[in-house]
Amino acid sequence: MIRGLIATGATDGGPLVAVAELPEPTAAADEAVVAVEASSVNHGEVEWLTQAAPGWRPGWDVAGRVLRAAQDGSGPPAGTRVAGFLPQAAWAERTLVPGLRLGALPEELPAATAAAIPVAGLTALRALREAGALRAGSRVLVTGAAGAIGRIAVQLAARAGAEVTALVRAGGHAEALTALGAAAVVEGTGALDGSFDAILDGVAGPVLGACLPAVAPGGSVVLYGDASHEPTTFASGELFLTAPGARICALRMDASPPQDGFAADLSELAALVRDGVLDVEAADPVDWREAGDAIAASRSRRPARKPVLVWS
Ligand SMILES: NC(=O)c1ccc[n+]([C@@H]2O[C@H](COP(=O)([O-])OP(=O)(O)OC[C@H]3O[C@@H](n4cnc5c(N)ncnc54)[C@H](OP(=O)(O)O)[C@@H]3O)[C@@H](O)[C@H]2O)c1
């Protein structure tokens, strides 16, 4: 048996997770068994938890060590320090990860930092890549720029030489986002100016509706989230006049096949974090048995940094 966290299904404001004894995971040929050292708490997965059936196994991000390598030879060998991501079940002391979804970690990178990399880092990196935004001089607009994915996207785009506009809904983020590389920090869509070769959106709703007309001809809009939970309307009749050749693309990490190069991307992101050029903003880790507090903090958006659970 292993220890892990399961959804309670609570809808009355009670704890969303409970400690459980779970069956030892049995790996398919393409899966490695990972001894989990740390997992992070993403805002999106906490939202999933609020709607989950009792017994559902939460957890997207994992950092730890390969206990048993995938039998088909995919993925790193036993003993390798790794980070990976899953659609569920990472909040446990051992978990199964497709070998191709595991990236090797530098030995010196703490698991509690590495655990904040996978979903947020991969989403930001791949959204920027999809938008063709990782190039010098590209004009990039990042909505929800104060969020976890937004802040990573700002850093990666700025590092590539793009001119990044960070869109936030409220004040108080300008100094931090400028330090992360944003050329401009804009509060609210009313203050947007100019056009953009790439727009990354994790907010949707009226924010996206207001940003879409700002895409440049031939530009790209990559949609990866809907933090506002609101529908989007926009004047498509104007868009094809002002931005011929522009495209809108939806990106969903858990729908990407494992052979999609995750291992290389995870290792690349981990190296950037180790080298101090990318901050994934992991909070001080807490024991996994204190997950309730970390979840509550994530829901109330109190932590500026991403909560991390450590397994011991
Ligand atoms: N496509 C994928 O594969 C994938 C993977 C992971 C996550 N996601 C999704 O991506 C989105 C962002 O994730 P995250 O981890 O970065 O979340 P996060 O840290 O909670 O960031 C969300 C950001 O959106 C902003 N926001 C929320 N509602 C808003 C509104 N009504 N108007 C303006 N701004 C608003 C927040 O602003 P404040 O800072 O002011 O609160 C925050 O900066 C979520 O929808 C998540 O489910 C998608």
Looking at 16-162, list the stretches that DSSP marks H as alpha helix, in order from N- to C-terminal side. 43-50, 111-114, 118-130, 148-159
Structure tokens belonging to residue 192: 């947007």
Q: How confident is the model at residue 256 (pLDDT cuts 50, 70, 90)?
A: confident
DSSP state of 192: -
Is the shortest distance between the CB of 127 and ligand 1 below 6 Å? no
What per-residue confidence (pLDDT) applies to 297? 81
Residue 118 near ligand 1, beta carbon < 6 Å: no
Distance CA 121, CA 310 (A): 19
| Residues 100-113 pLDDT 10s | 999 999 999 999 99
Q: Is the CB of 178 under 6 A from ligand 1?
A: no
Distance 80 CA to ligand 1 centre (A): 32
Does the beta carbon of 204 sit less than 6 angstroms from any atom of ligand 1?
Answer: no
Q: 158-162, 169-173, 183-187, 204-208: which range is least confident on average?
A: 169-173
Tell me the whole-structure pTM to 2 decimals: 0.96
The pLDDT > 90 percentage for the chain reads: 87
Distance 72 CA to ligand 1 centre (A): 37
What pLDDT does residue 303 have?
A: 56
* 2-116+258-310 has CATH 3.90.180.10 classification: yes
Give the DSSP letter string of 259-309. TTTHHHHHHHHHHHHHTTS----BPPPEEGGGHHHHHHHHHTT--SSB-EE
- Name the band, by pLDDT with cuts 50, 70 and 90, for residue 261: confident
Mean predicted lDDT score pLDDT of the chain: 94
147 touches ligand 1 (CB under 6 Å)? yes
Ligand 1 in reach of 146 Cβ (< 6 A): yes
Q: Per-residue confidence at 301, pLDDT binned at 50, 70, 90?
A: low
Model confidence at 23: pLDDT above 80: yes
Options 3.30.9.10, 3.90.180.10, 3.10.20.340, 3.40.50.970; which CATH number does 121-250 get? Answer: 3.90.180.10
Q: How far is the CA of 145 from the centre of ligand 1 (A)?
A: 9
Per-domain residue ranges for the chain?
2-116+258-310, 121-250
Taking residues 56-85, what's their average pLDDT? 96
DSSP per-residue letters across 130-162: HTT--STT-EEEESSTTSHHHHHHHHHHHHTT-
> In a mutational test of the pocket of ligand 1, which residue from 156, 168, 200, 224 has the highest number of ligand atoms less than 8 Å from its CB?
224
Could you tell me the pLDDT band of residue 121, with boundaries at 50, 70 and 90? very high
pLDDT, tens digit, 9 for 90 and up, residues 228-239: 999 999 998 989
**For residue 256, what are the β-bridge partners?**
none
Residues 6+ apart with CB under 8 A from 43: 147, 148, 227, 298, 301
Please give the radius of gyration of the chain, using alpha carbons only, rounded to the nearest integer.
Answer: 20
In angstroms, rounded to a whole number, what is the distance separating the alpha carbons of residues 82 and 97? 10
Atom of ligand 1 nearest to the CA of 151: 16
User: 89 falls in which pLDDT band (50, 70, 90)?
Assistant: very high
